[in-house]
Amino acid sequence: MNTQVRRALGLVSGPGSNRLGLQAMRLAIAVVFLWIGALKFAPYEADSITPFVANSPVMAFFYAHPDQYAQHLTHEGELNLAARAWQTANHTYAFSRGLGTVELLIGLLVLAGLASRRLGLAGAVLAFLTPVVTLSFLVTTPEAWVAALGEAEHGFPYLSGAGRLVLKDVTLMAGAWLVLADSARAVLRAAAAPTTRAPAPGLAAEA
């Protein structure tokens, strides 16, 4: 192995590179939550998560008529006023705005980890737990798998577009764990650091 390659590998494997990677992961997670959270205020994004929410045993109660969602689904970019009216009555948009607010908060907390250990730890915990919920959609949402419409490849393990989107959250979970561990170490270091106090004026004079 020549000197240049060794030098490059040394830079990549060094503590500075590791720190840069963790900060980049923190920024990447923040971008995902902030961007997707902001999109939750757009009707098309709210419509697109309807199957996930309606089929979730822990989320379906947010909808007024979760059992009727399949009749009112639209494609991204499609304007269907009747379907939109149903989605409004179903509380689809109200729920999506609430979820978007939570995701924006998580993104801001993760981003705050660049300056605040405790806020960063809180954000990292939430960022790690969120994919736990979304990955459960692979079990509860029929639309996560290719439907049996004639092709031999359908059902498990053939993920649909929605399923492939959900599966990517495994990388978000792994990245959030790294950020969580880094934030936890920072909090523990701060707690273990000795606190130095300036001596009282009288004691200083006696010394």
The per-residue pLDDT string of the chain (207 residues; one tens digit each, 9 = 90 and over) reads 788 777 777 777 777 778 889 999 999 999 999 999 999 999 999 999 999 999 999 999 999 999 999 999 999 999 999 999 999 999 999 999 999 999 999 999 999 999 999 999 999 999 999 999 999 999 999 999 999 999 999 999 999 999 999 999 999 999 999 999 999 999 998 888 776 555 555 544 444
Residues 6 or more apart in contact with residue 98 via CB below 8 angstroms: none
Residue located via tokens 């729920």: 95
- pLDDT value, residue 85: 96
- pTM of the predicted model as reported, rounded to 2 decimal places: 0.86
| pLDDT value of position 196 | 52
C-alpha distances out from residue 123 to 19, 20, 189, Å:
18, 19, 18
For 85, the token pair is 């009216």
Separation in Å, CA 46 to CA 5, 71, 88: 49, 16, 10
